[in-house]
Amino acid sequence: MGLSVVIHTYNSEKYLEKCLESVKMADEILICDMYSNDRTIEIAEKYGCKIIYHENIGYADPARNWAMNQAANDWIFVLDSDEIAPKPLMDFLMEWSNNEELQAHYKGMYIPRKNINIGRFLRAWYPNTLIRLFKKGYFSWPAEVHCSPTIHGGIYSINPAEHEKAIIHFSHQSIESYITRMNIYTTLELEKFKQRGVKFSVWYLLLRPVGEFIKRYFLKKGYKDGMQGFMFPIFVGIYKFFAIAKLWEYEYKQKTNFDDSDFPMEYPM
């Protein structure tokens, strides 16, 4: 019984207090920090959080299983430090965590998420449903970035029409932050491509980015969200383009035994 909230942090002072304030009714708040050097730990201590530390490897996914297995309660709610859990959601999760009948049928929960980009909610990303509630002992989380956890049992889904229960995510509040993360995460996407056996093709390079823009701008009505609704579908297309371009680079270097320290004296025309 009971609810633990697990939050991964690294230099998270910007939104952390809002995040912790939103989940303070939980039975436990567990912070898994990657050795922050800002006010993150000071803020966490203010809210009486349990604090553990993990090596900083640039992203949180490899630490998920380790941190979640140290939670004290049967149900674990995973929240990022730049997210807020609205009160209707927390009320629902607290009630859920003490309901034995529901626990017998479900071992996880899909929760919708509202993404805020440069101050605006983008409907092109809604409901962005994610598994964020877990029954201890019934989950496993892959170490690769942006991978979905595995739940060993039934999964309940909050209806996206219940907007008041959606997690609020302060995703990208500047174009600079998006570009900075894009280079890091597209390199991590390459590892996923290799593990899944995905091969480069020109059609994949051309059509996947365009398909992302069409889906988010037209099909999901991003055109209703002003300039943010226009720019961010383009950015997602560029993200996909760079990820696939890095796949081409990897395959090219493997095929040609490319070594950037070996420069020929002449290049043929």
> What one-letter code names the amino acid at 177?
S
Q: Which residue has the tokens 């593990």?
A: 195
Q: Which domain holds residue 178?
A: 174-256
Please state the length of the chain.
269
- ∠ at Cα 80 (75, 84), nearest 5°? 90
3-state secondary structure of 165: helix
The predicted-structure confidence for 144-167, as pLDDT tens digits, reads as follows 666 678 888 999 999 999 999 999
Mean pLDDT value across the chain: 91
Instruction: Report yes or no on 88 lying in a domain.
Output: yes
144, 170, 196 - which closes a domain: 170
The predicted-structure confidence for 8-42, as pLDDT tens digits, reads as follows 999 999 999 999 999 999 999 999 999 999 999 99
Is residue 51 located within the same domain as residue 184? no
Is residue 163 located within the same domain as residue 195? no
The string of DSSP letters for 120-135 reads EE-GGG-S--EEEEEE
Is residue 234 located within the same domain as residue 118? no
- Strands 108-111 and 130-135, sheet pairing: antiparallel
HSE-CB of 143 using CA atoms within 13 angstroms: 7
Q: Is 100 exposed, middle or buried (0-12, 13-18, 19+ CB in 10 A)?
A: exposed
Q: How many domains does the chain have?
A: 2
The set of residues, in sequence order, having a beta carbon less than 8 Å from that of 10 and lying 6+ positions away, is: 33, 34, 35, 36, 40, 56
User: CA-based Rg of the chain, rounded to a whole angstrom?
Assistant: 21
The predicted-structure confidence for 54-109, as pLDDT tens digits, reads as follows 887 766 677 788 888 899 999 999 999 999 999 999 999 999 998 877 777 899 99
Is residue 123 located within the same domain as residue 151? yes
Q: Which residue has the tokens 């303070």?
A: 24
Q: What is the pTM of this model?
A: 0.87
